[in-house]
Amino acid sequence: MKRIAEQFDIEGRILSVNRLGEGFINDTFIVVAQSDKGTRRYILQRKNGNIFKNIPGMIDNILKITAHLKKKINAAGGDPSRETLTLIPAKNGDYYLNIEGEYWCLTLYIEDSVTYHSADSEMLAEQGGRGLSSFQLLLSDFDQPLTDTLPGFHNIRFRYAQWEKSLAADPAGRAASVKHLIDEIEQRRGEMLDFYKLIENGEIPLRVTHNDTKISNILFDKSGNPLCMIDLDTILKAPCLYDFGDSIRSYANTAAEDEQDLSKVELSTSMYEAFYRGYISNADKFITEIERKYLPFSARYITYEQVLRFLMDYIDGDTYYRIKYPQHNLVRTLAQLKLLRSIENKLHI
């Protein structure tokens, strides 16, 4: 690990490299380096090449996006080295390393920042909403082409195509045991496709969005203000609703994504409202009437998609998400389904 970190343009000597975080997809490490200016920390990441088929394209997206953000943050008198990610080039001049087919990249660690795995107050949820919409607003005039790093990511039509293949192949022989859960997915198919048609026909516009906005993908400062959106792997042109819906999935869930005690899992309407308030405070500057109308439904859509994705991975034999124990994807499915039902009941959608 140290030898990999040394191939980046880091000042001074590398003291240590240790694993960090709980991402389901990539592997993340924290690097400590020492130079005569003192110690400095970095984030080293191995991007998952089984999932991302064009990592150079993904890094290029991140470079373009962060350059745009830095310009705007500077113009607003902010600190671009803290309010967005800073990629560090490798010594060969590229912003990634390809070592035996595995891709690595390095960013500055943002000191004095805090991450959360769940929202512990309405204040934090409101600030998270503000952080997300500020990110979307700063990118609203970004007009360069982007590589589609994960084609079909939140496209339910694409997910149904994957789903049908998984069910037909049933590689782990698990489909029969989850028949009742498969039915839960199928029952909602028509409504999900009706929503998706509004995106396909252009009534709901595409914007530059994050697409993976769970609470652990934003850094806060020590006073609880939103600081920096991280995990920029899935930036795409997509509806802003996906980001809102994915946020609600974590900010307004009263329990963890993989809670085993389902009685603990529900939608917190006060957290939902707090996030909504923060989100609208900046989104008001760009959001259209139809987007506003579908904000509550987006929480249902993205949570539904997540139920489908967890269940599909369970049926596939756990090939996509990192699991900690054999039934983990089934546990995640049940917890997300409980949340989905609660969203449907409490938001009346």
* Interface positions with ligand GN1 (CB under 6 A): 23-25, 212, 214, 217, 231, 234, 257, 306
With CB under 5 to 8 Å by kind, the binding choice for 306 among Mg ion, ligand GN1, none is ligand GN1
Q: How far is the CB of 151 from ligand GN1 (least distance, A)?
A: 12
CB closer to Mg ion out of 212 and 258: 212
**Residue 86: DSSP 8-state:** -
C-alpha distance from residue 27 to each of 184, 235, 244, 257 (Å): 33, 19, 26, 20
Q: Which two tokens stand for residue 43?
A: 């984030």
Residues in 201-230 at the binding interface with Mg ion, rule: CB under 5 A: 212
Q: Tell me the DSSP string of 134-163.
A: HHHHHTTT--S----SSTTTT-HHHHHHHH
Using rule CB under 5 A, residue 246 touches Mg ion: no
CB closer to ligand GN1 out of 60 and 313: 313
Q: Nearest Cα to 275, choosing from 135, 139, 137, 133?
A: 133
Q: How far is the CB of 229 from Mg ion (least distance, A)?
A: 11
Residues in 141-170 at the binding interface with Mg ion, rule: CB under 5 A: none
CB closer to Mg ion out of 210 and 338: 210
Q: How far is the CB of 64 from Mg ion (least distance, A)?
A: 18
CB closer to Mg ion out of 258 and 291: 258
Q: How far is the CB of 251 from ligand GN1 (least distance, A)?
A: 13
- The β-bridge partners of 221 are 113
Residues making up the chain, counted from first to last: 349
3-state secondary structure of 225: coil
Interface with Mg ion (CB under 5 A), residue total 2
CB closer to Mg ion out of 118 and 268: 118
CB closer to ligand GN1 out of 10 and 210: 210
CB closer to ligand GN1 out of 23 and 89: 23
The per-residue b/e assignment along 53-87, b for 16 or more CB within 10 angstroms, e otherwise, is eebeebbbbbbbbbebbbebbeeeebebebbbbeb
Q: How far is the CB of 211 from Mg ion (least distance, A)?
A: 9
Distance between CA atoms of 315 and 67, rounded to whole angstroms? 41
Q: How far is the CB of 24 from Mg ion (least distance, A)?
A: 7
With CB under 5 to 8 Å by kind, the binding choice for 122 among Mg ion, ligand GN1, none is none
C-alpha distance from residue 302 to each of 120, 184, 221 (Å): 22, 15, 27
Residue nearest to ligand GN1 (CB): 24
Distance between CA atoms of 269 and 207, rounded to whole angstroms? 27
Residues in 225-244 at the binding interface with Mg ion, rule: CB under 5 A: 231
Q: Name the residue type at position 270.
A: S
Q: How far is the CB of 143 from Mg ion (least distance, A)?
A: 25
User: Which residues would be at the binding site for Mg ion (CB under 5 A)?
Assistant: 212, 231
